[in-house]
Structure 1
Amino acid sequence: MAGPPGASGHVPSASPLLQLLRGAEVFAPAPLGVCDVLLAAGKIAAIAPELPALPPELCRVHDLRGHRLIPGLLDAHVHLIGGGGEAGPSTRVPPVTLSQLARAGITTVVGVLGTDGTTRTVADLVARTLGLRDEGLSAWCYTGSYELPVPTLTGSVRRDLVFVDPIIGVGELALSDHRSSQPTLDELLRVAADVHVGGMMAGKAGIVHLHMGDGLRGLDLVRRALDVSELPPRVFHPTHVNRNRRLFVEAGELVARGCSVDVTAFPPEDDPGDSLYAADAIDRWIAQGLPVSRLTCSSDGAGCMPVFDAHGHICAMDVGRPTTLSDTLTELLARGQELATVLPIFTTNVADLLRLGHKGRLAAGADADLVALDDHGHIAGVIARGRWLIQGGQTVVCGPFERSAS
């Protein structure tokens, strides 16, 4: 690859107006073969087997022969300002950084609060979301946390969606978990109705992103909500459905009713117990012939992953890492899964669910969010909105405070 466009600790000045990526094997996510890709002003301008050369003073050329070029990954569940806090203030996880997301190939991210909607606020989350946009990523967030009533910025779920640009839904509202507010069916329906109508009014996704715990009730509340209401199934998006095998079976049954579900890329060193690693869950999903279009994968990056004993005491703790998302994709390829088969789980499926039509795909007019993979499936380059963040496997753009912190 050519030299980095800028290697300062902060976001560099704008990239060249035109960039030509030569000779990569392109997956859009459908395979397009070896193509050139022209980027212009943060967008994909053209994709073709061979694009004409342009004057060097107007266009920077990058040789990507031997690489696979895919859409930037979308992660719909990251604790942008840090998660945790279940065992006191010292267990609050630090905020996620730009380079942590970039190294995972994530070019679009959606932030969540998690358990703690008391010492962490929706205002903080919105501010960090806007900050990541300034740093070069595409970022949105959910209003709310595990709890009810839903913590909001404006005092209303519907107003949050209508008046606060980055907010696209409610999440992660907890079900079947001892840390939840133990919501009733009526309470879940009221939140889902508000987020659905708010999404319609604002032209946004309007989904309820549901944290699923280990409780025996599983997805029962979601099934009952579909039974008794007129709400479209797409409003409900349960995550962590691979946290135990019983819940994973329920999730497979739920998609037949029109819902999409999300598996979490748990850290590989975690003892899986009764859970399924994300790659195992995706393998099983495909082997069972379940609709791949209804499956997404997220990292739970910067989220605390506590292990509780029978008395509710934390006996172990880990932290989610954004890189588990790209690691899961790499592992699937190493197992022999076809890239075109599994790639939508990390790209178009997420973009379509979140109604971000300009994300998750490589096509003329789409945002210039791309990841270059080497022949082992590892990330060699990341472009977000036309700007290189990773090049030649090296981080070339960091957040404004990352170097001082190191």
Structure 2
Amino acid sequence: MTMRLLRNAQVFAPQSLGIQDILISGSQIVAIAEHIRLDTNIELEEINCEQRIVCPGLVDTLTHITGGGGEGGFATRTPEMHLSDAISGGVTTVTGALGTDAVCRTHQDLIAKVKGLKEEGLSAYFYTGNYHYPVKTITGSVQQDIMLLEECLGIGEIAIADHRGSQLSWQELAKVAAEARVGGMCSGKAGVVSVHVGSGEDKLSTLFNVAEHTNIPLSQFYPTHINRSPKLLADGIRFAKQGGTIDFTASSTPEIIAGGEVKCATALRIALAEGVDPSQLTFSTDGHASLPHFNAQGELESLKVGSMQSMLHELRDAVLVEQIALETALKAVTENPARVLRLSGKGKLRPGADADLLLLDPEQLTLHSVMAGGAWFMRNQSIIRKGTFEA
């Protein structure tokens, strides 16, 4: 088993630990300390990090790893994610989901893709269900999928406030959430309900109604795309202040921004300024999703594809443009999403954690190297380990 010793690293775990050495054995971090000294005849790789920032690998809670169904017809179905797409964005943990289309995009394909990514060295999970209700599952129920399928962490992304969703009532959503909650409790998993929030005027009212009329707390839900508009952001801030965690989508387009979406990094600054606890804010890529722009009549005007590099770009903008402290911004893409998904080995650099980490340039936060599961996937800005069929 190869041991690796990273020396002279500016460690953000994500909290700042100063200049430290990091000892890695196999797939786990063994120690973080100043000037680690070893007397061993075991094979040891030593790397001088030259005071580059070393932080946890990014945890992405929403990725369309098998591609998405295009809202412009069959020719606009988006392509699947490859291993190098994630690595080039600093993402070492992905959570796959289906979206609008659960006819031509299936759970069987989703699970096979998750298992394939794991074989290639990435940490990969998935949500059962998709936008629609009644919920499509593998085993016949949300609870059984969560309990019996190893990589299933919850349900999502089920859609509210969107013309593409099933227009489900709060009572129907409450039943889904109850199944996910019990499935999570009985299996020691998150049982999270990932909620796609569209541009409808009802915003998060369905979630507030569930919390008001049932015993299911807001913390059971994990709404995404909360930066879709200033009005939705304001409703999301209210949701977070009442105990929920909200997610901002990093992938966007100039057309979507011009239509009123709040840039991800800007949404983080606004939420923090409004007094939201930093631990209740996350980013996700929405990677390989279709990014449609509809006009006022609901007609498709343009469509692009979500980028796996978007989360790293928005992290950079949060620090360099919005002037948010690095350790605060890092929590939104590492520690916080790992907590939401209840992935104890992810999102932090500490002894016993998985050796998923990034080396970043300290000035511009550009990506220098990526390690996942203790193995190098990128070194010196060059990807050295690609997916099975990548050129």
Q: What is the TM-score normalised by the length of structure 2?
A: 0.97
Give how far 1:66 is off.
2.6
Tell me if 1:365 matches 2:352.
yes
What's the counterpart of residue 217 of structure 1? 202
Q: Which runs of 5+ in 2 are unaligned?
A: none
What's the counterpart of residue 226 of structure 2? 241
SS in structure 1 of the partner of residue 345 of structure 2: coil
Q: Distance in 1 between matches of 2:103 and 2:224?
A: 22
Q: Distance in 2 between matches of 1:271 and 1:56?
A: 57
Deviations 1:28-86 (A, max 9, x none): 11111100000011000000011014547511111101300000100000000001322
Q: Distance in 2 between matches of 1:125 and 1:54?
A: 46
Tell me if 1:182 matches 2:167.
yes
Give how far 1:396 is off.
0.5
What's the counterpart of residue 340 of structure 2? 353
What's the counterpart of residue 389 of structure 2? 401
Count of residues in Structure 1 that have an aligned counterpart in Structure 2: 388
Tell me if 1:328 matches 2:338.
no
Deviations 1:79-112 (A, max 9, x none): 0000132221111101001000011111111011
Following superposition of structure 1 onto structure 2, how do residues 334-345 of structure 1 map, counting pairs within 5 Å?
A: 334-335=320-321, 336-345=323-332
Following superposition of structure 1 onto structure 2, how do residues 13-92 of structure 1 map, counting pairs within 5 Å?
A: 17-55=2-40, 58-92=43-77
Q: Distance in 2 between matches of 1:363 and 1:168?
A: 23
Q: Give the partner amino acid of 1:392.
A: N
Larger RCO: 1 or 2 (CA < 8 Å, sep 6+): 1
Deviations 1:197-254 (A, max 9, x none): 0111111100110000000000000000000111132210000000011000000001
Return closer, same or farther for 1:271/1:193 CA change in 2, 3 Å cut-off. Answer: closer
Q: Distance in 2 between matches of 1:254 and 1:332?
A: 22
Q: Distance in 2 between matches of 1:289 and 1:56?
A: 53
Deviations 1:174-194 (A, max 9, x none): 000000000011110010000
Deviations 1:90-141 (A, max 9, x none): 1110100100001111111101111001111111111101111111011100
**Contact map agreement 2:252 2:291 (CA 8 A) in 1:** no
* Among 294, 311, 317, the residue aligned to 2:280: 294
- Choose 72-81 or 286-295, whichever is displaced more: 286-295
Q: Give the partner amino acid of 1:223.
A: F
Q: Distance in 1 between matches of 2:253 and 2:310?
A: 8
Q: Distance in 2 between matches of 1:268 and 1:210?
A: 21
SS in structure 2 of the partner of residue 165 of structure 1: coil
Q: Which runs of 5+ in 1 are unaligned?
A: 1-15
What's the counterpart of residue 134 of structure 2? 149
**Contact map agreement 1:38 1:47 (CA 8 A) in 2:** yes
Q: Give the partner amino acid of 1:26.
A: V
Identity across matched positions, percent: 38
Q: Distance in 2 between matches of 1:249 and 1:230?
A: 24
SS in structure 2 of the partner of residue 130 of structure 1: helix
Q: Distance in 2 between matches of 1:43 and 1:68?
A: 19
Q: Distance in 2 between matches of 1:386 and 1:167?
A: 24
Following superposition of structure 1 onto structure 2, how do residues 130-209 of structure 1 map, counting pairs within 5 Å?
A: 130-209=115-194
**Contact map agreement 1:93 1:304 (CA 8 A) in 2:** yes
Q: What is the TM-score normalised by the length of structure 1?
A: 0.94
**Contact map agreement 1:268 1:277 (CA 8 A) in 2:** no
Return closer, same or farther for 1:395/1:54 CA change in 2, 3 Å cut-off. Answer: farther
Q: Distance in 2 between matches of 1:314 and 1:109?
A: 29
- Choose 99-108 or 82-91, whichever is displaced more: 82-91
- Choose 203-212 or 83-92, whichever is displaced more: 83-92
Give how far 1:268 is off.
5.3
Q: Give the partner amino acid of 2:247.
A: D
**Contact map agreement 2:10 2:18 (CA 8 A) in 1:** yes
